[in-house]
Amino acid sequence: MKAVIFDMDGVIFDSEGLYREACISLVQRYDGTVTEDLFERQMGLKMDESQRVAVEVSGAKVSPEEFGRNYEEEFLKRANNELKTIPGVEKLLDFLKGRVRMAIASSTKTAIITGFLEKFGFEKYFDAVVGGDQVINSKPSPEIYLEAARLLGVQPGECLVIEDSPAGIISATRAGMRVLAIRHDHNSQLDLTTAERVFHDHRAVARYIEAFVDTER
């Protein structure tokens, strides 16, 4: 294994709940109906596609474009004050740094990803970042993970991915990569069993990875 590629939301940052809060606030503002199916269908999608799904599923009386503008604003307002890292992720990143190359492949916009990394001083860990606005096709297409491997200068089969959504797991698998999944409060009802292993915290992930990390970058 030469590289580890991370999804971001729910894997590095505890941001899934903030997305939900922003979405609920807007759906209610525009007289829509919030359902759990809405959030399940949004996971792994690029932001513009996620916003379109929110409007369609909720029946909100607003255009996807206007919803999207307000959605990003609502989310960032919450994230600026409430965003936290996933417990144990910094120790995992410290362990991997210098042993493998690392990248983020997230459906979130690149500018938001880099802003969050800088906020917590995490940019030093990553050799590449691929946001949803850098690819044409959303997860479960393999495009975003193949692009991350290309930027890292490694073959897909040399990559391990850490994901938290079914779409992300399928995306990485289609790219020819090994996939580990992280279980948390916001994906507890989703089927993650197509991943190689499912873990409940990053400490367990670190112990698992330690056995086969290639120490030569």
Q: Which residues are catalytic?
A: 7
What are the φ and ψ backbone dihedral angles of 83, each rounded to 5 degrees? -65, 135
- Measured CA to CA, the distance from residue 206 to residue 86 in angstroms comes to 14
Task: Choose among 69, 79, 32: nearest CA to 54.
Answer: 32
Is-contact 27 58, C-beta < 8 A?
A: yes
- 40, 97 in Cβ contact below 8 A? no
**Residue 159: what are its φ and ψ, rounded to 5°?**
-110, 145
Q: Do residues 58 and 38 lie in contact, with contact meaning Cβ atoms separated by under 8 Å? A: yes
Cα(122)–Cα(13) distance, rounded to whole angstroms?
11
The answer to whether 73 and 188 are in contact (CB under 8 A) is no
